[in-house]
Amino acid sequence: MRNITLVGFMGTGKTTSGKILAKRLGYHFIDVDEEIEREQGVSISHIFSELGEAYFRMLERDFIKALSFREGLVISAGGGAVIDERNIQSMKLSGVLVCLTATPDTIMKRVGSSRNRPLLKVPDPLARIKNLMGAREQFYRKSDFTIDTTAMTPGDVADEIIRLTAGMI
């Protein structure tokens, strides 16, 4: 049973759709950010502010590599996980890589009020979303499949992933 790893910008539905997908497939669901928080005993925001993004990215890389040796997982990778080519290699080695997208306005509506998004703690979060999405686009394109979740329910996203990956997992 190969893994399905969900990547994409924050607020595209990786965690919500991933949990539904895992349940439908009988796989285990793992959210990389949640597991890092659990292991470290502090929030991602705390890691970013106190230890820096580079330290967080190292933890993320190590965790994703460890997951690549397991099977039967739906993995929700953090929004910036794709900026490290080693993560992309680990995720593709262990299964199928699916990128979830949404429009910047949709993302802003979904996560704009969240206080747990360290990269959006700026005066103009919508501009930051657009900037980060543009910078990461080249990495997201390395996915096996891309799904625009803007007008989809999480259940519809899970169904589409199942349809697209049939015979691959």
The pLDDT of residue 167: 83
Please state, in angstroms and rounded to a whole number, the distance separating the CA atoms of residues 33 and 117. Answer: 11
**Distance (Å) of CA 18 to CA 1, 74, 105, 125, 159:** 16, 6, 22, 25, 11
pLDDT in tens, 82-126: 999 999 999 999 999 999 999 999 999 988 766 666 666 778 888
The pLDDT of residue 86: 96
- Sign of the C-alpha dihedral computed for residues 70, 147, 83 and 42 taken in this order: negative
CATH of the domain at 109: 3.40.50.300
Query: How many domains would you assign to the chain?
Result: 1
pLDDT in tens, 35-60: 999 999 999 889 988 999 999 999 99
Range of the domain at 130: 3-165
